[in-house]
Amino acid sequence: MTRVVVEEVVEEGEVVEVTRVVTEVVEVPAEGEEAGPAEFVAPRPDTYTFLSFGDVDTLDPALMYDNVSSGVVNNVYEPLIYFNDTDATSFVPWLATEVPSVENGGISEDGLTYTFNIREGVTFHEGGTLEPHDVEYTFERGLLQSDVGGPQWLYIEPMMGYVSGDITEEIAEGAYAGDPEGLKTNASPEELLAVCEKAKASVESDDAAGTVTFNLAQPWSPFLATLAAYGGRIVDSEWVIEQGDWDGSCETWADFYSPGSENSTLTSIANGTGPYMLDHWTPGEEWVMVANENYWRPEGEPPWEGGPSGVAKIKTVIYRVVNEWGTRFAALQAGDAETVQVNDDVKPQVMPLVGEICDWQTRECTPTENPNGPLRLWEPLPGTSRTDVFLNFNAVTDEQGNNPYIGSGQLDGNGIPPDFFSDINVRRAMNNCFDYDLYLAEAYNGNGVRNNGPIIQGMLGYNPDGEMYEFDLDQCAAELEQAWGGVLPETGFRFSIAFNTGNTLRQTAAEILQANLGSINENYQVEIVGLPWPTYLRAFRAVQLPVAISGWGEDIHDPHNWVQPFTFGTYAGRQNLPEELVAQFQDLASRAVQATDNAVREELYYELQQLHHDQAIQITLIQPDQYQFEQRWVEGYPYFLSADEFYVTFYNMSLKGAE
C-alpha cells in the first residue's frame, strides 16, 4: 500500500517539512483465509494533535468569543454549570454543587433571583482556592469590562436590563459604548460609580455560606443556558488582580473598560480550575495544553452517566495552525494528527479513508465499503452555525480618512465612500448577485440548506415561508443602476472583501461575488483579501471592513441568541447599522425573549425576520450539516449543541494504545 508521509528534517540548520510517498509491504492472507479486522492503535496514546487554520485571539475568558480561542479557554477554565451531555436544554452542576430550580429553592418564583452553592475543595492551577467571591468577581469584571467584541452582552441584557449589551448604556445614552477614552474623559465620577454599583448589586457572594446570588433585571428563560456558555468561566480574583487587572474597586473599573484582546491582561496567560493547564501559546504556530494532575473531580464520579471523571486521560493536547489543506490532509493520512479541519469542498478527498460512520446520539457505528479504513466519521451532526456576508453601512477610517479596504474612499472608480452600503439598492444588488445554489454545491457539496434570516431552520421563530433573495444578475444590475444617483455603471467602484486565511468556504463566497459583479460591468471591481485570524478579527471588530465574511455558532440553543447578534448586537455593531433600524430590531427581540407564550414569540420573530429581509442588511447564506473526521483510535468524542466546530472537550476523550 502507499501513503503520504510528512517528516521533519534538518537542512542547513533549519527544520523543514518534507512530504514523500512511501510503499509498504502488507501481508496478504493465504488463499482461503479471511483478513481479520484492522487494529487501530494510537502511536502516541497520551497526545492528541489537532490541525486547523486560525489562531487564538485571546485567553481572557471574559473576552474570548471565537472558535479557536475556545479550544483553550473552555478546557482550562470552568463554569458553574454545564450542558447535560448532548442535551442543550438541561444542565449538570460543575463548579456549583447543584443546578438551581424553583423546586429546590435556587430560583425565586418571579424568576429574578438565582442562587448557587459553590463547590469546596477546588483549586486553581496556580494554587489559589475557589471561593464564592471569585465567582462574584468573575461576573462583575465581565460586566464592567463589557468589550464590544466579547460575549458579555449575554449577561448584560438579563442582569442589567440593557438591550444594547453595553454596560455604559445609561451614560449619555450609550454615547461612549466601546470608547474607553471617551468614557473616562466625559463621564462624571457619579455616573461611573452608579454603573459600578448597579453591576455589583446584580451578583453577590457570601463566602461563609458558600453561595453566590444573581439578581436579574428581568425574567430570562435562557439564563441557565447562558451560564453554561461563553463568558461564564470562573477566574481566581486574587491572581487576576496580581497580574495588574481590575482591583474590584468602583473607582478604577473605567480603566479596564472595553480593552480589546490586544490590551487585556489575561490575553496570553491562563489560570483556571479545569482538567487542562496551558503549557504555552506561540502565536501563529501552536498552543499546547497538559493535563491537570490535581484536578478536583474524583475518579468514578462523572457529571453524567458514561461521562469523564478523574484526571484527564489524554495528557497533552497540541493545536497547530496549518492553513494549507494539503499539509493537514497528509498529516491525517500519515496518522500524525488525531483530527484536522476538513472543509466541505475537500470532504470527498477524505471519504475513501473512512471505515465507519457513527451516530452522535446512539454512538452506534456502521461499516463503510472500506471497513478497514483508518478514519471514523461522525455524521450528520446537527447544524448550529452559519456563515454569512456582512455589509458595513459606514466603514471606519483613520484621522486622514483612510481605510485600506475602501480604496480611494471616493466614488471615482478606485474606491467607495465609507457609507457605500448605506444605499439599500447596493445592498439588494449584493443579495441578487450571489449565486446561492453554486455556493451550496461548491463550498458544501450540497450538504446544507439556505436560511432566510438570522434564525436557523429547526428553531422556534424560523419562518419556512419567509422571503428570500434569489440569484438574478439582471436584477443585480438594475439595483446598481438605481444606487447612488445612477452614477455607478459609468464610474464603477472598487472595494475589498476580507476573510480569514485558510477558510476556503469564505474564500469561495468572496470569489462568487467578485465574479458576478465583474460579469455585469468590468468597472465593478472587488479585491479579495485573506487575513490571519487575529488580524481579520480585529479589523472586523474595529468596523473597518466594508464587506466581511464571517460565521456564527450559537452560544445557547434559543432564537434570541441568533436575532440579537445579527440585528442589534455583535454583527450589527460591526456593520454600523443605523440607530433607528437597531431600535426597531431591539423592540421586537426584547418583547420576544420576555414572552412566555411561544406563539407570541414566534409571531414577533416572524416580523423581525421580515424586517431583516426588507432592509437587506446581510447576505444570508447556508446552514451546513456538520461532521467530524477522526482517527479510529480516538475514543469518547463528544458533540455538544452550542459548542462550536473547533471546540472539542478533550476531557471526554482517550486514545486507544497497544494492549
**Is 16 a domain residue?**
yes
Could you read off the pLDDT of 310-348 as tens digits, one per residue? Answer: 999 999 999 999 999 999 999 999 999 999 999 888 999
C-alpha pair distances (Å), 582 with each of 270, 387, 427, 577 = 36, 21, 17, 7
**Is 59 a domain residue?**
no
CA proximity to 83, closest of 555, 468, 496: 555
**Is 46 a domain residue?**
no
CA proximity to 563, closest of 615, 606, 621, 499: 606
Amino acid at position 140, single letter: E
Q: Answer yes or no: do 389 and 379 share one domain.
A: no
174 burial (CB, 10 Å; 0-12 / 13-18 / 19+) is: middle
**Is 496 a domain residue?**
yes
Q: Answer yes or no: do 443 and 529 share one domain.
A: yes
pTM over 0.85: no
Q: State yes or no: pLDDT of 112 exceeds 90.
A: yes
Phi, psi of 90 (to 5 degrees): -130, 165
98, 84 in Cβ contact below 8 A? no
Q: Answer yes or no: do 36 and 71 share one domain.
A: no
- Give the DSSP H/E element, type plus range, for residue 524: strand 524-531
Query: Could you tell me the pLDDT band of residue 124, with boundaries at 50, 70 and 90?
Result: very high
Q: Answer yes or no: do 350 and 395 share one domain.
A: no
Q: Answer yes or no: do 556 and 639 share one domain.
A: no
Q: State yes or no: pLDDT of 12 exceeds 70.
A: no
Total number of residues shown for the chain: 659
Q: Answer yes or no: do 84 and 200 share one domain.
A: yes
**Is 49 a domain residue?**
no
Q: Answer yes or no: do 601 and 634 share one domain.
A: no
Tell me which residue range forms the domain holding 185. Answer: 67-274
Could you read off the pLDDT of 201-216 as tens digits, one per residue? Answer: 999 999 999 999 999 9
Could you read off the pLDDT of 36-74 as tens digits, one per residue? Answer: 567 899 999 999 999 999 899 999 999 998 888 998 999
Q: What is the pLDDT of residue 222?
A: 86
Q: How many domains does the chain have?
A: 4
Could you read off the pLDDT of 399-443 as tens digits, one per residue? Answer: 889 999 999 999 999 999 999 999 999 999 999 999 999 999 999
Q: Answer yes or no: do 338 and 415 share one domain.
A: no
Query: Could you tell me the pLDDT band of residue 658, with boundaries at 50, 70 and 90?
Result: low
- Read off the pLDDT of each residue in 509-536 and give the average, rounded to a whole number: 97
626, 383 in Cβ contact below 8 A? yes
Q: Answer yes or no: do 259 and 311 share one domain.
A: no
DSSP string, 585-603: HHHHHHHHHH-S-HHHHHH
Q: Answer yes or no: do 482 and 572 share one domain.
A: yes
Q: Which CATH number belongs to the domain containing residue 118 in this structure?
A: 3.90.76.10
Cis peptide before 380 (omega within 30 of 0): yes
Q: List all residues 6 or more positions away from 390 whose beta carbon is below 8 Å from its beta carbon.
A: 545, 547, 548, 549, 550, 571, 574, 575, 618
CA proximity to 533, closest of 519, 547, 551, 518: 551
Q: Answer yes or no: do 326 and 475 share one domain.
A: no
Query: How is residue 193 written as a grid cell?
Result: 460609580
Q: Answer yes or no: do 371 and 392 share one domain.
A: no
132, 120 in Cβ contact below 8 A? no
